[in-house]
Amino acid sequence: MKKLLALLLSICVIGCNSNNNFDNDSVTCTVIFQVDGQVYDMVIVKYGETAVLSKEHPKKEGNLFIGWDKPLDDIKVNTTVNAVWEKEKYN
């Protein structure tokens, strides 16, 4: 797990990847989805595109998933987003 986390962090530090011809179609960015500080999913998107979670939205007992703390559209840099929760209200 520590090796995976180190790899993911190094990807974030490096920045978006390109093949040096600076054609936006060749640039990719990594988007890391985190839940409670843990990596939940990671996707690679083309420069300027929208990131889409590759699995179901996260679930957390006693909470409703509201969304992510940053926009997922027009991704132009490596991005880490965190799940936003709201406590469930019981009647």
Tally Cβ neighbours within 10 Å of residue 63. Answer: 14
Quick: pLDDT tens for 25-67.
789 999 999 999 999 999 999 999 999 999 999 999 999 999 9
pTM for this predicted structure: 0.75
Structure-token pair, residue 74: 């027009």
**Is residue 14's pLDDT more than 90?**
no
Q: E strand or H helix at 83, and its extent?
A: strand 79-87
Strand order in the sheet with 28-35: 38-46, 28-35, 79-87, 63-68
Structure-token pair, residue 62: 């006693």
